[in-house]
Amino acid sequence: MMIEKKFGEHFQWGGGFAANQMEGAYLEGGKGLCLADINEFLSDVAIDKKNNEEITTAYIANAVKENSRNFPKRRGIDFYHRYAEDLKLLGKDGLGLNAYRTSINWARIFPNGDDEKPNEEGLRFYDRLIDEILANGMEPMITMSHYEMPLNLTLKYTGWYSKETIGFFEKYGKVLLDRYYDKVKKWILVNQINLITHESFNHLGIAEDKVENLAEAKYQGVINEMIACAGITEYSHNHYPDVEIGMMLCGGPAYPATCKPEDVLAAVKHNQMEYFYGDVLLRGKIPGYAYRFFEDHGFNIEVSKEEAEKLKNHCDFFSFSYYYTRLCDQQHYENGNEGFRNPELPANPWGWSIDPLGLRTFLNLFYDRYQCPIYITENGIGYADELTEDSQIHDPYRPEFYRQHILQMKEALADGVDLRGYYFWAPLDIVSCSSSEMSKRYGFIYTDIDDEGNGSGKRILKDSYAWAKKVIASQGEDLE
């Protein structure tokens, strides 16, 4: 038997993006305010907790009426108006991508979340966008929820903690499937659904002053979210059997920090609560270890018999983002089930560790567990690229990062992993998710906008663009 380390002609080389980080035009086309629209840029990136973890209704009210502060995701990179030229740089006549992942901004379709009818002007924008993606030779993979919940669902309800939100999301998902089933064959329900600590508010929309126990509310919220996901999956399977529904995690299991049995067990328990979301959405039920976790923490989680039955409608594929690996020991597990950075690994300027071998490890662990198609829907590295006087970007560190990760993907293929796609994050510089800055750049294409929104907006090809184009054209064979 021959061991294959080739990606093959049907492998998807994609670009990963999010509507809230690039579209801008935050009040155009009938769009309502979404969670990302109140993410403020703070020059001290260590303070980005305010944007991503715990937030109050008073902060929301102040951010909504405040126009003098810097909310970069409101302007993005003006993709809303420039998508045609940007897609041309990325597709068949440019970088050569054959797949393109982005999200639909929930608040463009249902501005308040609980609207009776969808916003037709918002749908027409995505009609044009999806057609343009296809015209540029890229297959769309669309995320239904990527930190774009209508802000009204936080204020009028309690975000995902409210059972009403289940119905609102199911309605939204059905509208998207009915509209695009013939053009979009791959959907991700929720971006990085396991992020309920970091990116907590952006994900779940639960204001801390509206609940008594925020930690409990987060788990109830994400379970409500998964019930809604199962409802959308059921609808898709019943009405559009050729459409594939996927779920997505951020990262994967942590390494034990030491070989002490207590640390190994702590890592096992930590990792179970990372697998938890995939176990529900791909295996169809809440596992026993999760109920033990809830009991140990005193959480009262409500799931009716009807909701448990709905969860049996499981997804079709698994996807995950990969940026770094973490460690876990008994102390960190007991202190909020936290992981921490591996000091043995190099890191980028933001402290994100670089571990190509970890990608192969994760691919094997995930495939062993779920035995279904896998897509790496985000992988990349942020650096503060410097524009030279003659408007060039020399970024040899970026090809080296990708080269080492692609080599480990080949090893995973030889291990028997059913890996079907790899999406660079993000081939065009966009606003950073966690810190709302432009200076943390991932792309092969430089966007001339700074952290304050100044700049020409011009798109400039970096040195890495030519390298990535060669890699894609050779189906991952030419990595030099």
Catalytic residue among 216, 378, 437, 477: 378
> For residue 209, what is the DSSP state?
G
Domain-located, residue 443: yes
Instruction: Measure Cα distances from 230 to 197, 216, 290, 448 in Å.
Output: 23, 21, 18, 41
Domain-located, residue 480: no
Q: How many domains does the chain have?
A: 1
Domain-located, residue 3: no
Question: Mean pLDDT of successive 10-residue segments in the chain (480 residues)?
Answer: 81 98 97 96 57 78 89 97 98 98 98 98 98 98 98 97 98 98 98 89 95 96 98 98 97 93 95 96 97 96 97 98 94 86 88 93 97 97 91 95 97 96 97 92 97 95 98 95
Query: What tokens does 151 get?
Result: 């802000």
Domain-located, residue 422: yes
pLDDT of residue 4: 77
Q: Find out whether 444 and 465 touch, Cβ atoms under 8 Å.
A: yes
pTM summary value:
0.95
pLDDT of residue 169: 98
Domain-located, residue 2: no
CA distance 188 to 100: 12
Task: Please provide residue 379's backbone torsions phi and psi, each rounded to the nearest 5 degrees.
Answer: -160, 130
CATH no. for residue 121? 3.20.20.80
Domain-located, residue 262: yes
Pairing state of beta strands 99-103 and 12-16? parallel
Task: Please provide residue 375's backbone torsions phi and psi, each rounded to the nearest 5 degrees.
Answer: -125, 130
Domain-located, residue 39: yes
pLDDT of residue 50: 44
CA distance 197 to 419: 28
Active site residue 378: yes
Give me Rg for the CA atoms of the chain. 21
Domain-located, residue 4: no
CA distance 158 to 180: 30
pLDDT of residue 435: 87
Instruction: Provide the domain limits for residue 95.
Output: 12-473
Query: What tokens does 411 get?
Result: 């090893």
